[in-house]
Amino acid sequence: MAIDLFSPVNLGAISLKNRMVMAPLTRNRAGEGGVPQAMNVTYYAQRASAGLIITEATPISAMAHGYPALPGIYTDAQVAGWKNVTDAVHAKGGKIVIQLWHVGRISHPSLLPNGVLPVAPSAIKPAGQAFTYQGLVDFVEPRALDASELPGIVADYVHATQCALAAGFDGVEIHAANGYLLDQFLRDGSNKRTDNYGGSIENRMRLLLDVTKAVTAVAGADKVGVRISPVNSFNDMFDSSPQALFDKVAEALSPFGLAYLHAVEGAIHSEGDVAAFDFVALRKLFKGSYIANLGYDKARGNAAIASGNADAVAYGVPFLANPDLVERYKIDAPLNQADANTFYGGTEQGYTDYPTL
């Protein structure tokens, strides 16, 4: 029997009823104190027919925030809020993992404790503007992390993982993509360090590998995924040799026995040319399950799975606008169109009110 989007699959210890994954989507609708609220429970439960839900990116500490109204995963109240989400998804037969996030330099003092500077591998101000409670403001020059601070960052990932397990998640995804802290360490456009965490590819990978080692020790490697975005220029990102870098990342992550590697196969929110990249080669280097992401429809998703180029396919905006995307794809029903005006922040409108079939 042919394998397609609707075939079951195991990603490590996480068994999926189909291969359609809901991609992580920032929606800026958490309650006071970064606590998930009732409408967040409804939103995720509505999409429980996905084989796997990956939550919106979720800060691992107060210093990890970079946008308004984000949920966190580091306080008891946040754990309790997320427990309502996981209970609702599990009650509908779904699986859900949480994406662990540190934004690094993509923040602003107004979003951080005591108005401190954002942190980064190097003191390089990104081009662009931060989303704050006061509106868009220019990014600031971040403070370069001292090597002595990095074990504390790793410890924050460990604590967030412990919180995620307490909240009932089926696993965690380490966010090393889209120009945030771990990606900032990986790419030489943002990492100009001269210590053991900068310079060579091996050194630039070190923090990601430190985090992966620590998180897998807590959760079990077969419940941990990692997300990368080799050619995404979002958040003023660049690398001089992305294929060499991310091929090595894939090889270095393989021995952990992770649940999956999740790759953004192109550029999102980006203008201009995208570097050439061979994702099929990357996928072959990673000895484990692979989730493909970016611009897939039903036909392309089925083709990627049939060819072995992906084990599962992540869909973002289609799941945002179609809670029952799996059912619609099964019968080739028309899709709801997404309202971009309600993507970030707001009420239930454009969040929980998209119709099902």
Q: How many CB atoms lie within 10 A of CB 89?
A: 24
């570097």: which residue's tokens?
275
Return per-residue pLDDT of the chain as tens, 357 residues.
Answer: 789 999 999 999 999 999 999 999 999 999 999 999 999 999 999 999 999 999 999 999 999 999 999 999 999 999 999 999 999 999 999 999 999 999 999 999 999 999 999 999 999 999 999 999 999 999 999 999 999 999 999 999 999 999 999 999 999 999 999 999 999 999 999 999 999 999 999 999 999 999 999 999 999 999 999 999 999 989 999 999 999 999 999 999 999 999 999 999 987 766 666 778 999 999 999 999 999 999 999 999 999 999 999 999 999 999 999 999 999 999 999 999 999 999 999 999 999 999 999
End-to-end CA distance of the chain: 28
Nearest-5° Cα angle at 325, 319 to 330: 155
Residues annotated as catalytic (active site), given as ranges: 180
Q: Which residues pair with 10 in a beta bridge?
A: 15
Distances (CA, A) of 279 to 196, 237, 250: 28, 19, 11
Distances (CA, A) of 317 to 70, 166, 313, 355: 19, 29, 13, 15
| Every domain of the chain and the residues it spans | 9-342
Domain 9-342 belongs to what architecture? Alpha-Beta Barrel (3.20)
